[in-house]
Amino acid sequence: MAQVISRDGTSIIYERVGSGPVVVLVGGGLDDGTENEPLAQELAEHFTAVNYARRGRAGSGDVQPFALEREIEDLMALVDVPYAVGDTAVQTWQAYVGQLRAVLASEQRGEALKLFMRLAGASDQDIAGAESSPMWPPLLELAHTLAYDAACLGDGPPPATRLATITQPTLVLTGSGMDPLMTGLQSDFFSQAADAIAACISHAERRIVDVREHTVNAKALAPVLTAFFGSSPPPKQGESSGKLTFTTGGGTPPRTRAPW
**Helix, strand or coil, per DSSP, at residue 183:** coil
The pTM (predicted TM-score) of the whole model is 0.60
pLDDT in tens, the chain (260 residues): 788 888 888 889 999 888 777 889 999 888 999 999 999 999 988 888 899 999 999 989 999 999 999 999 999 888 765 444 456 677 788 889 999 999 999 999 999 999 999 888 888 888 999 999 999 999 999 999 999 999 988 877 778 888 999 999 999 999 887 777 787 777 777 888 888 889 999 889 999 988 877 777 888 888 988 888 877 555 554 555 555 555 554 444 333 333 32
**Which pLDDT value is given to residue 257?**
37
Half-sphere exposure of 56 (CA within 13 A, CB side): 12
| CA 97 to centroid of chain Cα atoms | 14
Please work out, in degrees rounded to the nearest 5, the angle formed at the alpha carbon of residue 25 by the alpha carbons of 39 and 79: 135
The C-alpha atoms of residue 3 and residue 10 are separated, in whole angstroms, by 10
Question: Helices (DSSP H) in 26-165: which residue ranges?
Answer: 37-43, 68-79, 87-105, 109-119, 124-131, 136-142, 146-153, 160-163
Kindly give the pairing relationship between strand 170-175 and strand 48-52: unpaired
Which residue, among 20, 219, 9, 249, has the nearest Cα to 127 in the 3D structure? 9
121 burial level (CB within 10 Å; 0-12, 13-18, 19+)? buried
Which residue, among 176, 186, 168, has the nearest Cα to 120 in the 3D structure? 186
Kindly give the pairing relationship between strand 244-249 and strand 170-175: parallel
The C-alpha atoms of residue 194 and residue 191 are separated, in whole angstroms, by 5
* Phi and psi torsions of 47, nearest 5°: -135, 165
Kindly give the pairing relationship between strand 11-18 and strand 2-5: antiparallel
Which residue, among 69, 253, 72, 74, has the nearest Cα to 157 in the 3D structure? 253
Set out the domains of the chain in order of their start, with CATH numbers: 2-79 (3.40.50.1820), 87-153 (no CATH), 160-257 (no CATH)
